[in-house]
Structure 1
Amino acid sequence: MMLSLKTASLWPLPVRLACAALSGMLVAALLHAAWLDDMMAAVQAAQREEGRLRAEYVSAQARAKHLPQWRAQQRQAGAELALLEQQLPDQQAMAVLLTDINAAGQSRGLQFSLFKPGAPRPRAPYVALPITIQLRGSYHAMGALLADLARLPRIVTVHELALTLGKDRLLTLDAVLQAYRLPEAGERAAQAALSSKAGRSAAAPAWHPLATVAPYPYEAAALADPFGALPTAPAPGQRGSVAGPDPRRVREPLESVALPAISMVGSVQQAGRLNALLLAGQRVYRVAAGQYLGPDHGLVTQISEQALQYRELLQDAGGGWRERHGSLSLQKPGDTKASVPEATP
């Protein structure tokens, strides 16, 4: 007898039960297959995650072997950073640095036509102070000045160098010096905020130990001036070319004071020698023959009760040195102006 689905309700009870059981088993098999597919996908995903975590673990284990070396590098970098920060003055010491730069130029016989500090430029973790300068003088004197700047205890760099030879055969140097200082509290907070915004996605730069660079003295003075600057004729009161000053000599206190700011106010005998009493600012100095005063290596040659004689050394355009003689006369009672050095023939 053939069974028809249209008459399934009329099927015998055993047949209907068998069909219902078969249908249930088929549905359960389909559901089980779908569940197995989901489980297999989950297992495969877990296996991939296990592989990724295992690779990360191996990589972290390899990096952990370098941890002592990295910590040593961190300590060395911290020590070098502290050493560099010692070369960065604070805002109060910046004025002293500017004075040192100016004195270095004057000690080389150079004339500052322009010395203009610009606006500070914050650059984490320091603040740069540009100084626009213009110098006039000889080629070798300018080279010696750059060597002097390299030997300063503070960091000073030179940028935008330009040399021009004038009709008077003197060189003009235009440049921008960069002095550096530590930031103030407010500047440091602003720099930290900018660094955090700009550096969140950036990778940390690789650290390398600093190379040891020792500044060398200027050793090209014996070479010819490439600009062919000619020596100028001695002016009245000056002598021809002579030996230059001793660069190893320790500078004396009055050499940082311009001669027009020094006046002779008296004299005193000491150990059978006559010493001059010189007023500079609010302080009186006792000076003997053989001591120095003024920025141009002024050597005291003779002292009397009425005047002090000195001899200066000036550097000409050709890099040579010449003498200039002058005197400081005793300031008479009632004078309101200090004696001014007078050139003597």
Structure 2
Amino acid sequence: MNLSTEVRRLRDMDWGELDIKESGGWPFLLQLICCVLVLGLTLAGTYWYLAAPKLEELGQARTEEARLIRDYQSKAAQAAHLEVMREEMAILEERMNTLRDMLPTGAEVPSLIDNISEAAISNQLSIEFIRLRSPVSQEFYVEQPFDIRVRGGYHRIAEFLANVASLPRIVTQHDLTLEPMEDAGGEQLQLSMLARTYSYRQSGEEEEAP
């Protein structure tokens, strides 16, 4: 085959008279170009319909593999610290039980009020009232507020507040006000405050009506 002859035939041919039925008589270079084009289109079509979806699946599989590896590494790190975490959990549960034991049950609230009254009497304070309010239900506990008003000397009141704070059951003190008593010549003060104690509510326990 003479390459220059084939090039000349390709250049001199009339492109308007090409007939696919006579492709066997086309110049060799034209036949080669057509074969290359057909082969290229065939490969492109094969890639588009067969390889491309598989490559997409492969990319998704690699992403999933990376996620699983991260999950495994995280769980492996947690497993390596499992004993430490169990010890810390046991300590937290012990602290929780200790705090829970400091919360009075509903039946123990009257006894707690008696303890506060005894603290006031032991400090020579006059009790004007200790008055319960309606309980307030929260998600995990029930809040029991009550108002306290007592009269006495400054140092006696301070000692009384310290006694209340050190009770074995948790009692928080809020909205404290001290006012001098005019009928006592300013030697005595009146303490008004809101105190709160709390009862742990077991899961599933019905909320109290307001």
Counterpart of 2:19 in structure 1 is 8
User: Is structure 2 residue 95 aligned with structure 1 residue 85?
Assistant: no
**Alpha-carbon distance, 1:7 to partner:** 5.1
The Cα shift of 1:185 comes to: 7.2
Q: Taking structure 1 as reference, are residues 5 and 129 closer, same or farther at Cα in structure 2, changes over 3 Å only?
A: farther
Change (3 A) 1:184 1:97: farther
1:31 equivalenced with 2:42 (yes/no): no
Q: Residue 173 of structure 2 corresponds to which residue in structure 1? A: 158
Secondary structure, counterpart of 1:119 in structure 2: coil
Matched-pair contact (CA < 8 Å) for 2:137–2:207? no
Cα 1:158–1:29, aligned 2, differ >3 Å: closer, same or farther? same
What does the per-residue CA deviation read over 1:44-98, in whole Å, with 9 as the maximum and x for residues that have no partner?
4433433333233222212221111111111122222222222222211211111
1:43 and 2:54 matched: no
Within a 5 Å distance, the mapping from 1:187-336 to structure 2 comes to: 188-190=205-207
Output the amino acid matched with 2:86.
R
For residue 115 of structure 1, what is the aligned residue in structure 2? Answer: 130
**Aligned 1:120-131 pairs, distance under 5 A:** 120-131=135-146
Higher relative contact order (CA 8 A, sep 6+): 2
Provide the identity percentage. Answer: 25
| 5+ long unaligned stretches in structure 1 | 192-345
The CA deviation at 1:3 is 6.1
Aligned residues: 187
Report the Cα distance in structure 2 between the residues aligned to 1:64 and 1:70, rounded to whole angstroms.
9
Q: 1:130 Cα deviation (Å)?
A: 0.9
Q: Which structure 2 residue ranges, 5 or more long, are not aligned?
A: 1-8
Higher strand proportion (structure 1 or 2): 1
TM normalised by structure 2 equals: 0.74
Structure 2 counterpart of 1:8, one-letter code: D
Distance 2:118 2:207 in 1: 34
Change (3 A) 1:6 1:103: farther
Contact 1:90–1:183 (8 Å) recurs in 2:
no
Name the structure 2 match of 1:179.
197
Q: Distance in 2 between matches of 1:117 and 1:39?
A: 73
* TM-score calculated relative to the size of structure 1: 0.47
Given the superposition, is the C-alpha separation of residues 182 and 26 from structure 1 closer, same or farther in structure 2, using an over 3 Å criterion? closer
Q: Distance in 2 between matches of 1:113 and 1:5?
A: 119
Matched, 1:54 2:69: yes
Q: How far 1:174 sits from its partner (Å)?
A: 1.2
Change (3 A) 1:56 1:152: same
Structure with more of its chain in helix, by fraction: 2
Q: Which amino acid aligns with 1:106?
A: I
Q: Distance in 2 between matches of 1:100 and 1:68?
A: 43
